[in-house]
């Protein structure tokens, strides 16, 4: 299940393990396409927390991580930002990126 984050729960959500955060907006077409992909990753990839942040509702978090375009995905490991990538992409590309940090 993909967890929705805001200012009240963001820092604690990314604090432990590997977490991928999808920065999105409801009006964004490519973001809508990525919704089911992120749900699949959440269901299929073990040892990863999958979260999302609505940039319209939590623009403070988007600003903190310099999110200027959406969708933007940031992978965190134990609270540290380890990779950032932008744009819609196939599930396999995202899981390959995640696997580097799960196994590493």
**Catalytic residue numbers, as ranges:** 28, 31
Q: Tally the C-alpha atoms within 13 A of residue 103's C-alpha that lie toward its C-beta.
A: 7
CB 14 within 8 A of CB 21: yes
Ranges of beta strands (E only) in the chain are 3-5, 18-24, 48-54, 72-77, 80-86
Lookup result for tokens 């999302």: 52
């Amino acid at each position: 299940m993909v967890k929705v984050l805001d200012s009240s729960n963001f820092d604690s959500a990314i604090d432990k393990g590997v977490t991928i955060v999808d920065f999105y907006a409801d009006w964004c077409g490519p973001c809508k396409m990525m919704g089911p992909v992120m749900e699949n990753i959440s269901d299929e990839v073990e040892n990863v927390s999958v979260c999302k942040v609505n940039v319209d509702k939590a623009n403070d978090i988007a600003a903190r991580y310099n999110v200027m375009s959406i969708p933007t995905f940031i992978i965190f490991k134990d609270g540290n930002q380890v990779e950032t990538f932008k744009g819609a992409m196939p599930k396999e590309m995202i899981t390959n990126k995640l696997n580097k940090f799960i196994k590493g």
